[in-house]
Every structure is written in structure tokens, then in C-alpha cells.
A and B are shown apart, each in its own frame.
Chain A
Amino acid sequence: MYNAARYTKSVRTPTLKSMDINKDLMAASSTPIVLAILAEEDSYGYAILQRVRELSGGRMEWTDGMLYPVLHRLERLGHVDARWQVAESGRKRKYYQITSQGRAQLAEEREQWQAVDATLKGIWKAIRASLPTLNPAFAPALAMAA
């Protein structure tokens, strides 16, 4: 018998640095991240996730399945096009490609994120002295930011 519970039970893969990026932030950043990765080159679900891991140094752990509804939403909105193609593995694979509308959307998102980023950078600098001891994992990133 197939034991459904085995697979539906949510098992958190503990990330090395035990840092959880908050859910809302994950959701908000998923669109620009996916669009930006597709702006590099056409890609498919698994490879996009790999690229996210690589870029974030493993700090952004998406639940794999959740990427697909995001891709489908972008497809519906016309930001990406999808096509089925036989991959080198011999399996059919769904590839996504960014559209010109998607690029425009990406440019817009980029501006917004840069504005948020600049604001935060400003404030981090101002309050650096009063911050409590940081999680060591943050240190290199923050040092770079500063």
C-alpha cells in the first residue's frame, strides 16, 4: 500500500545556517528572482531552483513544488512563455522563456527592490552601533553591504 502520510508530512530540511527567510519576503521576492534567472537564459523548474540555491549560497530554501504555481502565474500574466521540449535526458520538459513584457516587469521590480535596498542600507549604517550581536552567518554579508 502507498502510504500517503509518508509524503505529505512536511519535513523541514534544516539549512546549514539555520536562517529562515520570512514567508512574505520569500513570496515577494520570487517574481523578480525567477524573472531575473530567466533573463539570463531559458530554463526549467529544477534548474531555476538550483540557480536560486547557488545565488543565495543556500540561504534561500524554497519548497520545490511551490515554484511551479509561481511559474504558471507568470505565464498567465504574459511575463514568460512556456514550451514543452524533449530534454537531453529523453524526457519531455517544460521550458520557460522571458517575454519582452516580462523584461519590462523585471526592470520595474528591480527599481523597487533597489529603492528598498537603499533605504535599508541607509538605516543599517545609522544604527550599526546599537545592533545586538549578530548571527555570525550574517556577518560576511553585512560587512560586504557596509
Chain B
Amino acid sequence: MPTPNQVVSLDNQIEQWRSYLSRRQAIHTVDIAELEDHLREQVATLVGAGLSTDEAFLVAVNRLGNLDALSREFAREHSDRLWKQLVVVPSDSVAQLARGRMDAIVAFCLAVAAAVLVKLPALFGLDLEDDAHFYARNASFFVLPLLTGYFVWKRGLDQSKVRWLAVAFAAAAVVINAYPFTEDGPTLVLAAIHLPIALWLVVGIAYAGNRWGQVAGRMDFIRFSGELFIYYVLIALGGGLLMGFMAAIFQAINIDVEPVFEQWLIAGVVGAVIVAAWLVEAKQSVIENMAPVLTRLFTPLFAILLLGFLATLLVTGRGIDIERNALIAFDGLLLVVLGLLLYSISARDPQSPRGPFDVVQVVLVVSALLANAFALWAIAERINEFGFTPNRTAALGMNVILIVNLAWSAVLYIRFLRGRAQFAPLEKWQTNYLPVYAGWAALVVIVFPPLFRFI
């Protein structure tokens, strides 16, 4: 008979065996339970035949067969398991099940609320086309407060924090609606573009819950933002397909559905943000993050593009032809490079050693900075001629912000590559920089309009 000691050690051994088995993707928890029942019965029989528990365990495990072969057999029978499926509502335990379901219900209700909210002004006679400026000013408020609310609920944020988040939204709403903007003027357009960027930080604070103060909390928010963007694009593509088919089949019976689209498209546009956010949350640990995969793919390509551009510039001796929108184009370039850098940092294990991809990353950042420097140099010569319009000032300010970020990132990355520093400072620098973007965006919303007399 096994002594109590032996029982404990058998349980330990089985526990280890189970955790080892659970790493096999093709073998699920229920299968492990089934195999464990088998194992225990086999052990009991062998112990009954006079073996010690340890011996019995070893023999029983051996009889189960080679794990690689076994998991291959399971994979052949359950080939679907090699593709991670999104189980929106996990069913491991009753509590989890209830939580997942509750989550889905809340997200769905909020998405519907966003759709209703965006249609609400129409009841007061505000038309999407005739009162476009109203919608441009308030676009953020149809969805971001609800998204923030979702995370406030999900993370169980304290009252005091919620109050501050609400104050931020209220203040933004007052500023953007009280300013006497010229209709369709550049300051209004700039404010409309920058307001969501500033308010995205508020969403982030809610998202991170009580972890905003930590690098990891802010990094999670960066990951969330990237995945949200990708999911949103995918949903939008699906929505486009749906609308295309709808138009086509109704066309077949001579009904024009375009007015319906015009009315309801916007409801889908805002609702999808919350659905996408919920999906990102639900699939977080189930499916590989997409943003880092895309980064891996495009970082080398962008690096080659930029090196080619610089080489051509040097060989042909051409100056950059600066027209009005050149600065915005280079802002876009720096933004893409920053995105590539950010999402490869977000997926990098800080402990893993330096590799060739790190070198490509540094080449990308440095060449982007050089290309941008050429552009800035060309612009500086003619800035007096062009004058400081709101658009140009905003573009220049953003350029400076991006340069500062990328330049210091390059320094930190090179230090890391040369073995002088760890990877963590780079991560810290990027996450600490998040409020700078929001601060600049807030500046454009709040200070620019009076500065340029609301033109």
C-alpha cells in the first residue's frame, strides 16, 4: 500500500506530467483529464502488483507512449486545434463563463449606445452633410466616452479617477464647441483631427486601469491600440463587402439603398470601434498579436526603401522639391517608422539577445531621421517665404516631436546593440513619451485656434 508520502509525491509527479502535456497544442485539457484517469488506474494496478509508486508511475507513463508521437496522433485527429480558435466566451469554469458572457453583453450594449448616440443629433435637425462642422467637432464624443466607460467598468476604476476622466471629456467638449471657429477653416480642421488623439490618452488611462503608472501598463495600451486598429480595418473591410452586396442585390430589384447607407453607415462606424475593442480584449491571450507580425514584415522593406531613397539623393545630387504638403508627407514617414519601432519593441522580449533584426531596426530609424533632416533643411530655407500658417506650424511641431522621439530611441537602441545598456530603457522611453503626443494634440486644440484668430 502506498504511504501518504508516496501519494503526495505521485500527485506531484502527475501534476508535472500534466503541465508538460498541456504545452502540446493538440492535446486539450479534457484529453489530459482522460489520460490522467488512465495513468492513475495503471499506476494503481502496478502498485497492486508490487511496484513502488515511482516505478509504477514511470512504467505507466512509458506505456502511454512517446509524447511526440502521441501529440502527432492527436493533431491528426483534431487538426483544427493547430489553428488557434477565438473562443470568445471561455468555458473553463462557470465564473469565467459568466464573466465572458457579461463582457460580451456590455460591449454589445455600448456599441448600440454609440450607434444611437451618433444618430441622436439628427433628431434635433442636425444633418450630417449640412452641419458637417458639428460632427467634425464632436466626432470623438460619440464613441470615446463609451469606450472609456467600458474599461472603467471592466477594470473597476476608483470613483476619484473616473471623475477626472469625466472632467477631461467635459472640458474638451466645452472648448471645441465654445470656440468661435471659422466654418471649414484650418484651425477647426486641425482641432477636429487632434482632439481624438488627445482624448485617446484618456481612453488609455481607463484601459490601463491602475497600471498607467507602470511601463508594462502603458505598453499594454500600445499593444491594444495597434490590435484595435487592425481589427477595425478588418471589420471595415467586412462592412464594405456587406454594403457592396447589399447595394448590388437591391439594385437587382431596382431599389436604390444608397440613402439608407448614408443614414446608417456612421452608426456602424462608431459601433464597430467598441466591438473591435471588445474583440481585442477577448482574443488577447488566445491569438497571436498581428501588429508585431506586420512590423516584422515591413521593417526590412521600409529600411530598404529609405536606404534606396538616401542613396539616390546622394548620387543624383537632387534637392528635395519642397511643395506645400512635403512636410506632411515626411511627418507620415516618421509616423510609420515610429509605428514599426513601437510595435517591434512591444513584441520583443527584453531579455532576448541582440539579433540582426535589431540592426535593421536601427538602420530604419537612422535612415528615416536622415531623410527627414534633408527635408527639414530644404523647408527651413523657404519657411519665411511660406510663412507660419496653422497647418504648417502643426506639421512642423509634430515633426519635431517625432524627431526627438526617434533620435533618442536611436541613441538608446545603439547603446543596447553595443552592449552598453539593457533593452528596458528603450521601452521605458517609448511608454513615457505617450503623454507628449497627447499634450501636443491638446495644445493644437486649445492654443492654436486663439493663436491664429480662429481662421
User: Which residues from chain A sit less than 8 Å from chain B, CB to CB?
Assistant: 2, 4, 6-11, 13, 44-46, 63-66, 68-69, 72-73, 76, 87, 89, 91-94
Contacts and interface: CB of A to CB of B under 8 A. Distances in A.
B46 to A, nearest CB: 12
Interface stretch (B74-82, B176-184, B253-261, B398-406): B74-82
Interface string B62-97: 111111111001101110000000000000000000
Contacts, number: 81
Nearest to B23: A4
B33 A46 contact: no
B31 A68 contact: yes
Most interface-central of A8, A63, A65, A91 (chain B CB within 10 A): A65
Interface string B19-38: 01000000000110111011
A11 B66 CA distance: 8
A65 B72 CA distance: 11
Interface of B: 16-17, 20, 30-31, 33-35, 37-38, 40-42, 58-59, 61-70, 73-74, 76-78
Contacts of A76: 77
28 contacts: A7-B61, A7-B62, A9-B66, A13-B62, A44-B37, A46-B37, A46-B38, A46-B41, A63-B66, A63-B69, A64-B42, A64-B63, A65-B64, A65-B70, A68-B38, A69-B73, A69-B77, A72-B31, A72-B74, A72-B77, A72-B78, A76-B77, A87-B37, A89-B41, A93-B34, A94-B30, A94-B33, A94-B37
Given A2-B16, A89-B41, A91-B40, A68 B35 contact: yes
A93 B41 CA distance: 11
Given A45-B37, A45-B38, A94-B37, A63 B77 contact: no
Contacts of A4: 20, 67
A41 B172 CA distance: 73
Contacts of B63: 13, 63-64
Given A7-B58, A65-B73, 20 more contacts: A2-B20, A4-B67, A7-B17, A7-B20, A8-B67, A8-B68, A10-B66, A13-B63, A45-B34, A46-B38, A46-B42, A65-B35, A65-B65, A66-B69, A68-B38, A69-B73, A73-B77, A89-B40, A93-B37, A94-B30
Contacts of A13: 59, 62-63
A12 to B, nearest CB: 9
B20 A69 contact: no
Contacts of A93: 34, 37
A135 to B, nearest CB: 25
B58 A6 contact: yes
Contact of A10 (B35, B65, B78): B65
A64 B20 contact: no
A4 B68 CA distance: 11
A8 B31 CA distance: 18
Of B30, B33, B37, B74, most A-chain CB atoms within 10 Å: B37
